[in-house]
A and B are shown apart, each in its own frame.
Chain A
Amino acid sequence: MTELNHLTIAGALAGLAKKEFTSFELTMACLAQMQKHRDLNAFVTETQERALEMAMNSDVRRAQGQAMGAMDGIPLGIKDLFCTEGVLTTAGSHILDGFHPTYESTVSANLWKAGAVMLGKLNMDEFAMGSSNGTSYHGPVTNPWRRKGENTRLVPGGSSGGSATAVSARMVLAATGTDTGGSIRQPAAFTGIVGLKPTYGRCSRWGIVAFASSLDQAGPMCRTVEDTAIMLGAMAGYDPKDSTSVDVPLPDFRKAIEGGVKGLKVGVPKEYRLDGLSLEIAKLWEQGVAWMKEQGAEIKEISLPHTKYALPVYYIIAPAEASSNLARYDGVRFGLRVPGESLDDMYEQTRAAGFGKEVRRRVMIGTYVLSAGYYDAYYLRAQRIRALILKDFTDAFKDVDVVLTPSTPSAAFGLEEKFDDPVAMYLNDVFTVTVNLAGLPGISVPAGLDSRGLPLGLQLIGRAFDEETVLRAGRAIERAANFTAKPEGF
C-alpha cells in the first residue's frame, strides 16, 4: 500500500470516507516525513500537538456521523505569511520576532472550517520578496529535486519555497501559498507540483501579512489539478473584512476540471518567445501546444505587446506598495524593538536590524518612487503602463479562452549560485508577473523533465474569475504530460 503521506487530497478523502485509515494515521505519516527531512528547512514552526488534536477531532466527527467539511482530516502546511491565532507568524523576517497573532487569517480559517489539519508554518522569502527562498531570516529552503548524478543543492524557488518543498517532498498533502509576481507558480514549476494564483479578489487577503496589496493573492499548492480545485474551493469566498474581496458565486471547481478542451481557443503570445529563451523551455512549450491540439483545442497566436515592460512596472508598483505597507514595522506594536535615544532613532535602528537586504532595497526603491518630485515620473507612469498591460489581455481574451506559456525561463538553480545583480534574480518572474498586474488567474502544471532531470512547468492564464477554464485546461496538460516523476528518495 502507498504510504499515506504520498496520497493526493482526493485519494485521502476517499480512503478516509471508506474508513481505510484515520486522519490521525495520515497526520502521523506526514509528521514522520517532516521529521525525517528537517534538513530541507521547509518549516519555520511545526505544530505537532495542534495537528494531532485537529486530526482526532476530524476522526471523532467522522465516527459520529457528523457533517464533514470539504477537506476534513487533510493535513496541510501554511505559508508563514498567514496569521495563525496563537502560532508564531514571522513572514520570514527578523522584524516579526515572537509575533503571535491574536486572530486567524480568513483563508486559513476557511480551511479549518472545512476540516483541514495544520501541520505547521512554512518557510518563505522575507515578506515574500524573492524567487529562491534565499532571503528568509530562517535560512534557505532546499529543493528535494537534484540534477541527475549531482549532489548540488538546488533552490525550490520563491517566495513560497517552503510550501513547494513540503508538497514535493510529501511532508504535506498540500500547502497554501501567496503570489504577488509569481511566488506560487515559479516554485511550483521548480518542484514539479501544481500551483494556482486565483483572480485578484477571489481569496480574502485579510490576515495575510501585506506585501503589495494591489497584487497579493493567496492560492493552493498541490500535487494534482484535482487537488488544486478542491483546495481552491475551500480557501476562496467573499469576505467583508477585505474590501477588495469580490462577492461573486463560488463555482464547484472540482466539477469543472474534466470537461476537456475540445473547441477551446488557446492563445500563444508571440512576445513570450524571448531572445535567448532556452531550447528546452521552447520545446516544452511546443509540446504543450501539440497536446492541446491533439485534445481538440484550437491554437491561435496572440500579441501582448507590453509584455517586456511588465517586470520594470512591477519593480515600481510592488516596492511602492511595500514601502507603505512595511511602515507599520516600527518597534512599537509587535515584533522586534532595538532601543534608541529618540523615537526616530528607535525606528531607524529597529528597521535596520529587522529588515534583510532585499527588503531594505525594495522599501528604499518604493520610498524613492513615491517621493516628491519623482512620483509622476515613476509611480504614475508605471500605473499607466499597468493599464496598457491589462488592456493587452482584455484584447487577447476577445479571441481566445485561455493563454498557454512556459511558467519559468529555466529549471531550478543552485543554492550557491550567486545573484550579485538583483535584476538577474527578478527575471525569474518574466512569464508570471503580467498575470498579477492584470489581476488574472494563472496555474502552473508540471509538464516534463529537462535533460538534467529537473521538472519544468507550463502556465495557463484565464479571464478574471474564470478559474474553471484554467483548471480544465490545466487538467488537459496534466493528462497529456502524465507527469509521474518524483524527486529521488521521496
Chain B
Amino acid sequence: MSLDQKQVKHIATLARIRVEDAELPGLVNELNGIMTWIEQLNEVDVTGVEPMSGVQSRDLPRRPDVINDGGDPEKVLKNAPDSTHGFFVVPKVVE
C-alpha cells in the first residue's frame, strides 16, 4: 500500500507541521520509499510473540507519594518565548 498526497497532508496535520503543497510530491516519494522498504517486516512470522516496548521487563520503581519538586515558576518560565504574570502566553484560543 502506498501513501498519496491527501494522506501525507493529513499526517502533517496530525504532526502539526505545516507542509506547503509544492513540497507534497517530493515528500510522498520519500515517505513511500521508506515505507516500501519497511514492508519486508511482513514476511516475519510473529504468531504468539508478545510485543516489547522496552528491554526492561520489571515494573517501574515507585517512590513515596510526597512533593519533592516545584515552586519554581521563574525557572519554568525562563525559556518561554512569551510569558506574563507567571503564565505562558499563547494566541487567543477561546472567543
Contact = CB atoms under 8 A, between A and B. Distances in A.
Interface of A: 98-103, 200-201, 214, 240, 243-244, 246-247, 306, 308-309, 312-313, 315-316, 323, 327, 330-337, 339-349, 351-352, 355, 360-361, 363-365, 367-368, 371, 378, 380-388, 390, 421-423, 438-439, 464
A365 B52 CA distance: 20
Contact of A323 (B15, B55, B72): B15
A62 to B, nearest CB: 34
Given A351-B16, A388-B49, A439 B55 contact: yes
Given A332-B88, A332-B90, A348-B17, A102 B78 contact: yes
Contacts of B22: none
Given A343-B90, A346-B90, A378-B38, A423 B53 contact: no
Given A102-B78, A367-B11, A421-B33, A309 B55 contact: no
Contacts of B79: 98-102, 333-335
A323 B35 CA distance: 16
24 contacts: A102-B76, A103-B75, A201-B56, A244-B54, A244-B60, A309-B40, A312-B41, A332-B88, A334-B79, A343-B91, A348-B17, A349-B18, A351-B17, A360-B17, A363-B15, A364-B31, A367-B11, A368-B35, A378-B38, A381-B46, A382-B41, A383-B51, A385-B41, A464-B55
A367 B72 CA distance: 33
Nearest to A308: B40
A316 B38 contact: yes
A16 B81 CA distance: 45
User: What secondary structure prevails in chain A residues at the interface with B?
Assistant: helix
Given A103-B75, A333-B80, A439-B54, 15 more contacts: A312-B41, A316-B38, A351-B16, A352-B18, A361-B34, A364-B11, A365-B35, A367-B11, A367-B15, A382-B41, A388-B46, A388-B49, A390-B55, A422-B30, A423-B37
A382 B46 CA distance: 10
B91 A341 contact: yes
B66 interface: no
Nearest to B46: A384
A81 to B, nearest CB: 17
